[in-house]
Chains A and B, each alone.
Chain A
């Protein structure tokens, strides 16, 4: 018979819709509206898990997101999810779940040996136990074994089949929590004309009212008030109600992250729906109506299955119609728990006793009176000293606080309440300070620099009427904080009643049983004794205690345990709780699936992809593409059967022999216009610019303020006041930003206008001895060496397949050959590229990629940002000291005179040739003797390398200590990572045509 513990009637479940599910291999039945936890309890299953450290049997402890124990593995093939809280997982038909952290089964778990061994496993045991032999190597071995033993659940082994999306939203008032206070706040704000969003973490609005008949509002049942308010809010176009949505983090300026679960409750999620949607809500004001979380009391064996929070017991009885057991003991330090006692009693659970730590004189409240009138047994000034049982609680020993003989009470359910902790997490994340109220032993929100207004139980208003009044006041205050006009007067919040549930602070029952554990933090198996031990060992700050004992860590982040731990720490140290302080509340409030953070920004969508105007041609012609920043660039164009390396060598060789063309559209391009452009250039480049004539260009080097090389490139003077600067691909954005800063902040008096045109121009470099012959066929200007010499620039018309277009031609060479750059509007990139290839066909033209381009520049000794210019090199280090103009100031120049930047042992740019054919990998260290014992002094390192098809040798560029005085020396390039050890000869960095005859010819 299934659901034998289901009450015959009652509860917010749909008894007409039975759902089958599977837990630990057994088939059960529940109803629509159940959580996995309530369905298990309806079938009498309390034991659902084993604890993290000691593998002790554990049951369902709460009825909400704060659950420390009932973490289960949902098995849905690729959708398997560990650490799912059974208390919030909605039941769906066919759900398959199981317990974690136990083997072979939850009833018999071999890991429970840890419990027997617990005397040698105190807090911090692994720091003490695994200290020998004292080398990190051994600790790493131990750690692996400890991790294996300690794991919680299994991560999915295959890619996530679901997708997640992001939603940005803006509102005047964001209400976090859809209970009575939150709904009242939302209604007040909406009535004042505010745009409102309400987040409710469970599927239903109404908070603790949902499915639980507590009190009435305006002479109506509370549930009617909830339904009416929801109906009213639903009608408004400017109110968004989000259920199954947890506000998990508060970030600067009222940005709240919330996660909406769309398909986690569906048996077969439709493909079109995202599994979860991450909301980023920018609110002008926030109302925090997050309620309060009940906490327990520590006593020996307070972790036995069947032990749960009193409020949770009431929830299971009322909302889910589950009779939790046959007889119960209620253990409390406040009036609230009596509601649970009465609810259990009404459901037919025999109440063996209500054990209350308070004195008889304190039990005058309405609920204790009702319990007494009902005939329930009250034991004032008493505590549970110990619970007994193996896989479920079977009895508890009760002793008077004043001391005396223990009396045993049989029970299979123990409902415990140690008071209520306001859910201040998001308020604290909003840098809000907390105020400790010693009477109720709770931290309440105090003041935040941001407009976040607490309302309801989180603000200390526990009664229904007060919570609603407080919500209305908070809603109106939020509207005002949002800067909206309010008609009429803002209602004042109700006065906070002192100690509304008559709590007497009480944390732990002193234990006289050495082997019996009293748990503070159930999820992390932290006991009262652990806290005492940590305090003795010197971990006396709240944050230290947390790290040493793991108190308050894990998926529940100590929602039910933190305050108890802090109180016990305070008791040990003789300090009050506010003196001890809290640990920091950090996002997320409850665990958030990692997949929700990237959303759709996954795989190719992590970053934008940039394509040049010629990209389609590259793809059609077999280019192998590589990423260059966000750009896709051709690495090489392998022919059928040809390797990439062979292709790059062929392409590089062809440039030196015939002619090649390479796509250089990714270069940063900045247009500069104005009378004072030369003045700007003089200040940002090390060389001189006021002498640059129209129709000429010049190479320049920029420094950082500290004198280190920042970027290089050419700038051309297109007209009297019109210049075009090129930057490296990598620095295109940062140089634009740099120039904007200089012009806007430092030198606003300069008449210069700058704008990036990187995207607007496609560029191709045509290089090789036959480049001029190709270009002559293409353009309408005289390109002879006399008319268009090295570093000349001209605007022209370029002939394309059907007509001609305007273009710019620059005689610049990166390869060291006779070379030209042709710039055309991006949309014309492909037609011009094809026109060049057509014109070059008779001259053996081949396209070449970045790999051949790299080979050509290494042969020529040209430096690149990131390899040779590595954030440490000066102009002198790369042999460009002569470029520094002595007659003018420029950025970075004043600090160039520092001695360390001019030391003779500076690492300087040199060329290396391998003595026996072998590559010298980038990063290889240069040493004099490769076999010398370590530490072997490093003289430098390889920065770029290639096989030179034109020299038929492996060559490299390197930065070498005192490099220019070492020409002719023989050194070793060693790279243990690449298993390389190569004898190299040091020489100048330029291997080909050092006098520049080719590029000037």
Chain B
């Protein structure tokens, strides 16, 4: 069981958290073409190595935050709060 460093509460057992998927995804603009929406909803990278992802501390502070985790070892390289606001997609 991973020990996840919540940026607000400190390290806590994985059972307190919910996984939220790829942290780099951005919802397309409302008028984006259907293909952009299909990419956003269905297509995911499955990297072997560091992965930026979202976690939710549901049994703690109820915050969403970002974690960089190595998918090969489950080592958490860093965790950070969501703010400051994310830059828009290039």
Contact = CB atoms under 8 A, between A and B. Distances in A.
Interface of A: 251-255, 282, 431, 449-450, 705-706, 733, 737, 740-741, 744-746, 748, 889, 894-895, 897-898
Nearest to A704: B41
B34 A897 contact: yes
A895 B38 contact: yes
A895 B37 contact: yes
Interface string B1-14: 11100000000011
Given A741-B20, A744-B63, A282 B34 contact: no
Contacts of A449: 70, 73, 75
B58 interface: yes
Contact of A252 (B2, B20, B62, B83): B2
Closest 5 CB pairs of A and B: A889-B30, A253-B3, A252-B74, A894-B37, A449-B73
A431 B2 CA distance: 14
B68 to A, nearest CB: 15
A378 B18 CA distance: 65
26 contacts: A251-B1, A252-B1, A252-B14, A254-B3, A255-B1, A255-B3, A282-B13, A431-B73, A449-B70, A449-B73, A450-B75, A705-B40, A705-B41, A706-B42, A733-B58, A737-B18, A737-B58, A741-B54, A744-B82, A745-B64, A746-B27, A894-B32, A894-B34, A894-B37, A895-B34, A897-B34
Given A449-B73, A737-B56, A745-B82, A253 B41 contact: no
Contacts of B1: 251-253, 255
A897 B31 CA distance: 13
Residue with the greatest number of chain A CB neighbours at <10 A, chosen from B38, B64, B75, B86: B64
Nearest to B63: A744
A898 B34 contact: yes
Contacts of B54: 741, 745
Nearest to B4: A253
Given A737-B58, A741-B20, A745-B54, 20 more contacts: A252-B1, A252-B74, A254-B3, A282-B3, A449-B70, A449-B75, A733-B58, A740-B62, A740-B63, A741-B54, A741-B56, A744-B63, A744-B64, A744-B82, A745-B82, A746-B27, A748-B83, A894-B32, A895-B34, A895-B38
A968 B37 CA distance: 39
B85 interface: yes
Contacts of A889: 30
Contacts of A741: 20, 54, 56, 64
Interface of B: 1-3, 13-14, 18, 20, 27-28, 30, 32, 34, 37-38, 40-42, 54, 56, 58, 62-64, 70, 73-75, 82-83, 85-86
A733 B75 CA distance: 28
Contacts of B74: 252-253
Contacts of A894: 28, 30, 32, 34, 37
B57 to A, nearest CB: 10
Nearest to A282: B3
B45 to A, nearest CB: 17
A740 B18 CA distance: 12
A245 B31 CA distance: 62
B44 to A, nearest CB: 13
A706 B56 CA distance: 22
A252 B76 CA distance: 10
A253 B2 contact: yes
A254 B3 CA distance: 9
Nearest to B76: A253
B62 to A, nearest CB: 6
Nearest to A430: B73
Residue with the greatest number of chain A CB neighbours at <10 A, chosen from B27, B83, B85: B27
A252 B75 CA distance: 8
Contacts of B86: 745
A745 B63 CA distance: 10
Contacts of A744: 63-64, 82
A737 B64 CA distance: 9
Contacts of A746: 27
B53 to A, nearest CB: 12
B64 A740 contact: yes
Nearest to B56: A737
A781 B85 CA distance: 47
Contacts of A252: 1-3, 14, 74
B52 to A, nearest CB: 13
Nearest to A253: B3
B56 A740 contact: yes
Residue with the greatest number of chain B CB neighbours at <10 A, chosen from A740, A745, A748, A889: A745
A877 B1 CA distance: 42
A746 B86 CA distance: 9
B63 to A, nearest CB: 7
Contacts of B82: 744-745, 748
A744 B73 CA distance: 29
A748 B3 CA distance: 27
Contacts of B37: 894-895
B78 to A, nearest CB: 15
Contacts of A282: 3, 13
A574 to B, nearest CB: 31
Nearest to B66: A745
Contacts of B70: 449
Nearest to B65: A744
B6 to A, nearest CB: 13
A932 to B, nearest CB: 37
Nearest to B54: A745
A603 B73 CA distance: 35
B74 to A, nearest CB: 4
Contacts of B34: 894-895, 897-898
A307 B31 CA distance: 79
B58 A748 contact: no
A741 B20 CA distance: 9
Contacts of B18: 737
A251 B14 CA distance: 12
Nearest to A254: B3
A680 to B, nearest CB: 14
Nearest to B64: A744
A748 B85 contact: yes
B23 to A, nearest CB: 8
A737 B55 CA distance: 11
A745 B73 CA distance: 27
Contacts of B64: 740-741, 744-745
Contacts of B75: 449-450
B30 to A, nearest CB: 4
A733 B58 CA distance: 9
A706 B2 contact: no
A744 B84 CA distance: 11
Contacts of A431: 73
B61 to A, nearest CB: 10
A280 to B, nearest CB: 8
A737 to B, nearest CB: 6
Contacts of A251: 1
Contacts of A737: 18, 56, 58
B73 A706 contact: no
A898 B38 CA distance: 10
A705 to B, nearest CB: 5
A504 B61 CA distance: 60
Nearest to A891: B27
B50 to A, nearest CB: 13
Contacts of B83: 748
Nearest to B70: A449
A253 B1 CA distance: 7
Contacts of B32: 894
A683 to B, nearest CB: 10
A737 B13 CA distance: 19
Contacts of B30: 889, 894
Contacts of B27: 746
A891 to B, nearest CB: 8
A284 to B, nearest CB: 10
A469 to B, nearest CB: 30
Nearest to B30: A889
